[in-house]
Structure formats: C-alpha cells, structure tokens
Amino acid sequence: MSTLVNHADTSNEMILVLDFGGQYNQLIARRVREDHVYCEVHPSTLPLDAIRTMKPKGIILTGGPNSVYKADSVTCSPELFRLGIPVLGICYGSQLMAHLLGGRVETAPTSEYGKTEVTVDAKDSLLFQHVDEKTICWMSHTDYIAAAPEGFHVTAHTPVCPVAAMENAEKKLYATQFHPEVMHTEQGKTMLRNFVYDVCGCQGDWKMGDFVEKTVAALKKKIGSGRALCALSGGVDSSVAAVLLSKAIGKQLTCVFVDHGLLRKDEGDQVAAVFGPEGPYDLNFIRVNAQDRFYAKLKGVTDPEQKRKIIGEEFIRVFEDEAKKIGAVDYLVQGTIYPDVIESGLGNSATIKSHHNVGGLPDYVDFKEIVEPLRLLFKDEVREVGRELGLPDYLVNRQPFPGPGLGIRIIGDVTAEKVKIVQEADAIYREEVAKAGADKELGQYFAALTNMRSVGVMGDGRTYDYAIALRAVMTSDFMTAESAQLPWEVLQRTTSRIVNEVKGVNRVLYDCTGKPPATIEFE
Ligand code: XMP
C-alpha cells in the first residue's frame, strides 16, 4: 500500500478553513494564500484535538446549505470558540457562531441574494479597517442572525439583515453574513487580510521561492539514493512536479512522456525540447511515440465514453511497457494538486464523463511509494513555482488540456487525417486569439472537428468538407462556464485563415453554449 507524501513545511504559520459544505471553500483558502499565508481546508468534523495539534493562527468557518436550528445540520463543538484561536465565521459559519454562543438565528423575512450594500457601523473594528462605510458585499442566505450573542457587537447591517457582521474583539471572534472571499464583495480581500494579519497576527511567510527550496531539500532527504518514475504529460502540473524532482535527485528520476498522437500541434516536440537531452534539466527522459498504437485502437470507434476508456487504458498499457523496461522503482511521482485533494472527499455526483488522468497508474507499476510534491498547492501557485524553476512561459501558462486530448475534440471516429485538421485549425485559432490579446479573460479556448460535412464553394468548384467548431469559455472553476463574446474581427480572421489554410475544412462555427447545459469539451 502506498502512502501519500506531504512536503509542507509545518513551520509555516497556518490558517485553518473548516468546511461546512459551502461552495466557496477553496476560494477562501486561495484568497488567504494570495496574501502569503498558508491555509488548509478540512471537513467541519475535524476533531478539536487535531486542531490543537495543527496550531492554526486562525480558523475560518465556511458557508453551507443548512439551517443551524435543524436537528441534523452540520455543526461544531462550542469549545472551538474557547480555544483562544481567532475565528471568522462566514455566512452559515457566522450563524453557527451566533447559535452556539447564545444568539438567535431565524429565517430572514426576505432572502438576500447577490450584490448588496452593507453599512459598516463600527469604525474601530479591526476587520473593517480601510473599508468604506457603505460597501458592496455578496450575500446568499435565507436565514439570518436576528440577535447577536452576549458580549458581541453588531459591526455592520443591511436593510434586511440587522446583523450583517458581528464581533467579540476581546475573544477574537468575528462573523460576517456576507462572503468576503467572493470577488463581488468589493473590499472582501481587505477584510480577509485584516483578519489574517491584524486579528490573527500572521506575518505572511508563505512564499513560492521558499517552497521550492524547502521542497527540494525535503525530497532529497526522503528519496536519498532511490529511483523515481514520473508520467510526464506536458501539462503544467506534471511538468512542475518533474522539475522539482529533477532538482532534488537529478538522474535518479526517469520521466516517461507518452505521445499518444492526440496532442496539440507541436506540443510533443515542445515537451521534448524542455525535458529531453537538449533541455536544461538533468534527468532521464523517454519519449514514447505511440500514435500508431492509439490510432489503431480507436479505429472506427465513435462512442465518446468508449473512446475515453480506450485512450485511458492504452495510456496505462504503454506506460506499463516502459516501466517494465526500467524495472522496479522506489517512488512514483504524481502531479496531484490541492483542488484534487479537497475534491476527492466528495464524489456522489453522477458520472458525466470518465476523466482520464494518471490517477489509474499506481496499480500497474511496481513501486513502493507515491510522491506528490504539489499536493498542497493551488493551480496559480503551481504556475508560480514553475516560473521560479525557470520553466518556459508556454508551459507554465498552458490552458488545461484533457488527458484524452484531441481524441475528444474530434467528434466521431478518430483518424490521423482528422487529427491533422484539428491540430492545424486549433493552432490558427490560438494564434489569432493571442495576437488580439483576447486570451486574458478566457478559461479555455480551442477548435474541435465536428463530424458534419457540408457543401461549399471554393473558386469555381463545389466542396463537400468538414466543419470546424470554435469554442471559448470564461470560467473560474470549470464546473460552470459561459461562452465568451470574442470580438467578431478575431472570429472572422480565424475563420478565413482556417478555410484557406486547412485542407478539408469549408465551414467554421462558433459555439455559444454555456455549461450547463453543454460541457466545455465536446465529448
Ligand atoms: P468538461 O468537458 O467536463 O470539462 O466541461 C471540464 C474541464 O475538464 C477538462 N477535462 C479533462 N481533464 N482528463 C482531464 O485531465 C479528462 O479526461 C478530461 N475531460 C475534460 C476539460 O478540458 C475542462 O478543462
């Protein structure tokens, strides 16, 4: 059985987020980390003893869907508020604080949802330093605190909410009905910073430069003269993980890069240029050109789930073959990041798509332990580490790319010819979007090949060719997304270049659908 290795340096000051089922739990942690204070998210059921051992500088209670006065609602021990550790309760967390300490929580006469003007009543509150008297905050609640507990001052209100914020400064207990972590709370960052620095007394010792240094040292110590194997996809996470390992153990690391022939244009060569013998890193790099194997398995297969399964399984087979040649290794390196860790506890939702990533590998490879050096980092922190390590921008800023690659951006059966078409069209699209500087707001954008052929006219002749679909979405979490309103000129230029430069395409369509009801990828 493998153990997961944590490389966090526990000497960092820490803010603990206790999750009561709120949809913004990760966002709170990200905001705190952006202010250079290390922060972890744990379930609300975390025992008090464990909390004491962690020695957090402060605790933040998240929102959640429950009502505190219902018998089966998630709760916490009232002792939590007597540990002497500062607490900030947000939304449900604020109501829980009020309820457990003797205040009154009721159904609000009207629910507040959305941007709401909040009046700050306490000029001297540490939480509201440098915050305007009238400030726009994000509200989302049906219950509210009708009366604050004894010893608490009401520090803010709205026309609906008599207690939009409250505090017992002496005991360092703070609560807001609104969500300071959400971008729509205009001065929310200031409030969180006030809590973390001025109430909890943090100094801000979470820096990515230090992370690199400490992690490399910890990996050196842990692995010693052992051997490690890394499945390198060329994505940000596995690339950064590989470089950290190579800094720590050099040639004791072998990276296997499986080119399944479903990558974006030139991507395989770009990965090889960075990690191969010509690149700056001192590691063993194996590129497996497995296009033919994948295309053969995919021949004639049109069902999206079946395609995903075939690509996922073949990936493991290829990796397994390579691993066998290398022999037993001590450590398997994985690019798991913090959102994967937080989300792995959930999992009751329906399978919309069977995701392919390297999570399936451990059963098939002979190794003793898994090393996950990025396990505690958010994506933006991983990118920062990548920059610290000197990885090129095009790798660090790469948009997410699904494991099954272009296989799920070609609707219907996959052929080498179709891969070429979608690669060329996608490269043109990315080039035009970037040239216009239109990529800044976009979460993801790409070209897909529909399985529709239609009639066109080129010169004096009739054509009967494929239609390319362009997609661009804005999203913060990839769970929901809006179709982006790309400038018309960009779409026109892209269209004209695709139909002129890519053989086999005579029509270009733009996807205006959001998620839901569509998904970001086409299959
Ligand atoms: P969907 O299409 O489900 O995609 O809206 C949401 C995000 O997940 C990415 N995606 C994948 N990533 N393996 C991955 O590692 C996969 O099998 C996979 N399928 C979708 C997708 O690109 C988007 O960012």
Report pLDDT for 6: 40
Do 131 and 190 form a contact (C-beta atoms < 8 A)? yes
Out of 42, 99, 141, 179, the active site residue is 179
Mean pLDDT of the region 93-113: 96
Mean pLDDT of the region 247-269: 97
What mean pLDDT value characterizes the chain? Answer: 93
Question: Residue 98 corresponds to which tokens in the numbers above?
Answer: 């009020």
Report pLDDT for 10: 57
* Band (70; pLDDT cuts 50, 70, 90): very high
Report pLDDT for 478: 84
- Kindly give, in sequence order, each residue whose CB lies less than 8 Å from that of residue 284, ignoring residues fewer than 6 positions away: 251, 253, 254, 255
With a 6 A CB cut-off, is 357 part of the ligand 1 pocket? yes
* Band (357; pLDDT cuts 50, 70, 90): low
State the sign of the Cα–Cα–Cα–Cα dihedral 308, 314, 315, 320.
positive
With a 6 A CB cut-off, is 402 part of the ligand 1 pocket? yes
Report pLDDT for 245: 97
Mean pLDDT of the region 51-69: 95
With a 6 A CB cut-off, is 521 part of the ligand 1 pocket? yes
Instruction: Say what the pTM is.
Output: 0.84
**Nearest atom within ligand 1 for CA of residue 354:** 17
Least confident residue range of 121-125, 212-216, 339-343: 339-343
Share of the chain above pLDDT 70, in %: 95
Site to probe by mutation for ligand 1, drawn from 307, 410, 471, 478 as the one with most ligand atoms within 8 Å of Cβ, is 478
- The angle that helices 236-249 and 267-275 make with each other, rounded to 10 degrees, is 20
| 402 Cα: distance to centroid of ligand 1 (angstroms) | 5
Closest residue by CA, ligand 1 atom 11: 402
Mean pLDDT of the region 70-90: 96
CA distance 510 to 468: 9
Q: Catalytic annotation on 343?
A: no
Mean pLDDT of the region 45-70: 95
Q: How far is CA 156 from CA 90, 134, 138, 164, 441, in A?
A: 14, 10, 14, 5, 34
* Band (476; pLDDT cuts 50, 70, 90): confident
Closest residue by CA, ligand 1 atom 10: 402
Is the model's pLDDT at 402 over the cut of 90? yes
Share of the chain above pLDDT 90, in %: 84
Choice between 338 and 284, residue whose per-residue pLDDT is larger: 284
Mean pLDDT of the region 36-55: 95
With a 6 A CB cut-off, is 129 part of the ligand 1 pocket? no
* Band (19; pLDDT cuts 50, 70, 90): very high
Report pLDDT for 2: 32
CA distance 439 to 388: 23
Do 205 and 197 form a contact (C-beta atoms < 8 A)? no
Identify each DSSP E strand in 267-330 by its residue range.
284-289
Is the model's pLDDT at 208 over the cut of 90? yes
Closest residue by CA, ligand 1 atom 19: 402
Is the model's pLDDT at 351 over the cut of 80? no
Report pLDDT for 281: 92
- The H helix count followed by the E strand count for the chain is 14, 19
For the chain, state the CA radius of gyration: 26
With a 6 A CB cut-off, is 311 part of the ligand 1 pocket? no
Is the model's pLDDT at 460 over the cut of 70? yes
Site to probe by mutation for ligand 1, drawn from 309, 355, 513 as the one with most ligand atoms within 8 Å of Cβ, is 355
Q: Catalytic annotation on 161?
A: no
Is the model's pLDDT at 480 over the cut of 90? no
Site to probe by mutation for ligand 1, drawn from 264, 353, 475 as the one with most ligand atoms within 8 Å of Cβ, is 353
| 350 Cα: distance to centroid of ligand 1 (angstroms) | 15
User: E strand or H helix at 457, and its extent?
Assistant: strand 444-458
With a 6 A CB cut-off, is 407 part of the ligand 1 pocket? no
Mean pLDDT of the region 68-83: 95
Report pLDDT for 345: 59
| 521 Cα: distance to centroid of ligand 1 (angstroms) | 7
Mean pLDDT of the region 262-287: 95
With a 6 A CB cut-off, is 444 part of the ligand 1 pocket? yes
**Amino acid identity at 35:** D
Is the model's pLDDT at 18 over the cut of 90? yes
CA distance 137 to 183: 9
CA distance 30 to 44: 18
CA distance 44 to 77: 10
Instruction: Give the phi and the psi of residue 40 in degrees, each rounded to 5.
Output: -125, 150
Mean pLDDT of the region 275-281: 94
* Band (359; pLDDT cuts 50, 70, 90): low
Is the model's pLDDT at 387 over the cut of 70? yes
Q: Catalytic annotation on 170?
A: no
Is the model's pLDDT at 4 over the cut of 80? no
